[in-house]
Amino acid sequence: MNLTAVLAMYYDPVNCHCRKQTGVTLIELIISITIISVALVATLGAFSQSVAKSADPAIRAQAASIAMAYMEEVLLQPYADPAGSDTGGCEEGNSRDIYDDVNDYDCINDTTGAKDRNNNLIPGLEGYNVQVSVAPSTLNGTAAQKIVVTTTYDGDASLKVSLTAFRVDY
Ligand SMILES: [Ca+2]
Ligand SMILES: [Ca+2]
């Protein structure tokens, strides 16, 4: 086979191996764009759903802030009633403004909004609910009161912030 015959084989315009297309046709381009669009719509749809279902960060931060404020107030109280008449619960009933020991706060169940130390509703925080439980416990073998503060939000049943602390008799 001479050179002419070889060239004719490779450059034969009929049986051509030399004129392969290097681009894409319009049909291939349209199909590719369609597939990418469908994938993009599906991805964005899943993303927006997960964002919509997650709790608002501002509301979660506010709930945590309320829980910390209640917890701080409880921890600052004397371990037992100063009058020496501690019953192990809330001797003062629901009168938070005269609570004077840690386990008095076991009666706190604010379902109409977060309240201040004087038992007054705090404007703007009516949607938050706060429950406090105080129970005898031990911390590394030392008698302690276990305090749990739980905050929820009326507008989002999935939102729940819970803080736990131990108060020893120091
Ligand atoms: Ca008391
Ligand atoms: Ca008490």
Beta bridge partners of 130: 110, 151
Could you tell me the distance, in angstroms and rounded to a whole number, from the CA of residue 169 to the centre of ligand 1?
Answer: 15
Could you tell me the distance, in angstroms and rounded to a whole number, from the CA of residue 77 to the centre of ligand 2?
Answer: 10
Could you tell me the distance, in angstroms and rounded to a whole number, from the CA of residue 13 to the centre of ligand 1?
Answer: 102
How would you class 84 by CB atoms within 10 Å of its CB: exposed for 0-12, middle for 13-18, buried for 19 or more?
exposed
Q: Contact 137/144 with Cβ under 8 angstroms?
A: yes
The answer to whether residue 51 scores a pLDDT higher than 70 is no
Instruction: Write the pLDDT tens digit of every residue in 127-152.
Output: 999 999 999 999 999 999 999 999 99
Comparing 57 with 43, which gets the higher pLDDT? 57
pLDDT of residue 107: 94
The answer to whether residue 14 scores a pLDDT higher than 90 is no
Rounded-to-integer distance, Cα 121 and Cα 111, Å: 11
Could you tell me the distance, in angstroms and rounded to a whole number, from the CA of residue 99 to the centre of ligand 1?
Answer: 5
Could you tell me the distance, in angstroms and rounded to a whole number, from the CA of residue 106 to the centre of ligand 2?
Answer: 8
pLDDT of residue 3: 64
Comparing 112 with 56, which gets the higher pLDDT? 112
Instruction: Write the pLDDT tens digit of every residue in 73-129.
Output: 999 999 999 988 888 899 999 899 999 999 999 999 999 999 999 999 999 999 999
